[in-house]
């Protein structure tokens, strides 16, 4: 066993073991000591400060906020990531969402996804674990040409299925159309209706949450080409947020306006029937939409950052 002052031996042993990933037997042979002494040498390297071991947890969580969210909103689970810049907030929330999803995956059955940046952040953080051949990944909403293609539901469904080694189905229809007649015609197509029917029966769902007047939620309304009267009626309905392109008010009740007739997606009531639904959002700008979704009771799990979690609790 070298004396603490024998820095060269300590450094060599630590370098071989921690940086070059040699086994303790290989380290023992390289520095000319018995194998039983290697663990003592490595311990001395740590005590003397030669080795500084740090654990960087990408899934850092605020458990106190999580418990308060569960209690306040009657959730099954909550995951709260530390707040940061807008870019890091979404990344951290996505990492927590991915970790939750991997743990929640059924051995067989189906997982359904909506669309958007938050769901994309979850999917991109899911590791490659391609042994879920009995799973199917399904879209909850039609395609959205108004958003970055990487955030489109069909693209996210394919990406998650690839990571899991699962089957998937596409929804060959736009999420938003310009008339109820167009929506009705598309919904008569078996290929479209059957995918949505399957999505309604999913075991697990991951959905993004939008706030009216912000980002993609605003773009959805613009794409519907509402008349001035229709747009005024929509705003007068008390709408605050959306999920799966379905809009709701501050209490989470569906908004019965013309916009609901121009959407190809599962209904909010269908979402409530899915056994396990996780809502994902980042940033206090999503406060209204996330709060409405919680009040509406169609979320079982919430994955957010600390800033948004605190704002939700303050609103009550």
Per the model's pLDDT, the better-predicted residue between 96 and 7 turns out to be 96
Domain boundaries, the chain: 7-47, 63-315
**What pLDDT is attached to residue 2?**
46
pLDDT over 80 (residue 315): yes
Mean pLDDT estimate for the chain: 88
How far apart CA 219 and CA 223 sit, in angstroms, is: 6
Query: Does residue 65 contact residue 73 with C-beta atoms inside 8 Å?
Result: no
pLDDT over 80 (residue 266): yes
pLDDT, average across residues 285-298: 95
Q: What is the dihedral of CA 56, 277, 197, 143, to 10 degrees?
A: -50
Q: Residue 264 CB: number of other CB atoms within 10 A?
A: 21
CATH node for 63-315: 3.40.50.1360
First to last CA, the chain: 62
Kind and range of the H or E run holding 229: helix 228-236
* CA gyration radius, the chain: 25
CATH node for 7-47: 1.10.10
**What pLDDT is attached to residue 4?**
45
How far apart CA 206 and CA 278 sit, in angstroms, is: 5
Lowest mean pLDDT, pick from 18-22, 144-148, 182-186: 144-148
Q: For residue range 96-106, what is the model confidence (pLDDT) as tens digits? A: 999 999 999 99
Q: For residue range 200-215, what is the model confidence (pLDDT) as tens digits? A: 999 999 999 998 877 7
> Assign residue 165 a region: left if phi > 0, alpha if psi is -120 to 50, beta otherwise?
left
Q: pLDDT band at 59, cuts 50/70/90?
A: low
DSSP of 78-139, one letter per residue? EEEEPP-SHHHHHHHHHHHHHHHHHHH--SSEEEEE--SHHHHHHHHHS------TTEEEEE
pLDDT over 80 (residue 299): yes
Global pTM exceeds 0.85? no
């Amino acid at each position: 066993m070298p004396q603490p002052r024998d820095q060269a031996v300590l450094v060599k042993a630590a370098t071989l073991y921690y940086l070059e990933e040699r086994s303790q037997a290989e380290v023992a042979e390289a520095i000319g000591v018995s194998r039983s002494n290697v663990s003592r040498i490595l311990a001395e390297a740590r005590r003397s400060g030669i080795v500084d071991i740090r654990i960087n947890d990408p899934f850092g969580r605020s458990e106190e906020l999580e418990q308060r969210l569960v209690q306040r909103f009657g959730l099954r689970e909550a995951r709260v990531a530390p707040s940061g810049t807008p870019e890091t907030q979404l990344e951290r929330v996505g990492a927590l969402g991915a970790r939750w999803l991997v743990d929640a995956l059924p051995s067989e059955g189906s997982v359904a996804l909506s669309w958007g940046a938050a769901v994309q952040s979850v999917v991109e953080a899911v590791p490659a674990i391609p042994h879920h051949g009995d799973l199917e990944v399904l879209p909850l909403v039609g395609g959205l040409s108004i958003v970055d293609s990487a955030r489109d539901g069909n693209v996210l469904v394919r990406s998650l299925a690839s990571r899991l080694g699962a089957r998937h189905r596409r929804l060959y229809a736009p999420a938003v159309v310009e008339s109820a007649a167009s929506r009705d015609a598309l919904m008569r197509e078996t290929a479209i209706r059957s995918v949505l029917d399957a999505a309604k029966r999913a075991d697990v769902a991951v959905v993004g949450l939008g706030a009216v007047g912000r980002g993609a939620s605003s773009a959805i309304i613009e794409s519907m080409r509402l008349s001035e009267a229709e747009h005024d009626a929509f705003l007068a309905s008390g709408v605050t947020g959306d999920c799966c392109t379905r809009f709701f008010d501050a209490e989470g009740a569906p908004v019965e306006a013309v916009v609901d007739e121009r959407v190809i997606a599962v209904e909010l009531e269908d979402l409530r029937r899915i056994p396990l639904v996780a809502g994902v959002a980042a940033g206090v700008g999503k406060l209204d939409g996330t709060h409405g979704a919680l009040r509406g009771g169609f979320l079982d799990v919430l994955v957010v950052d600390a800033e948004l979690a605190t704002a939700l609790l303050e609103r009550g």
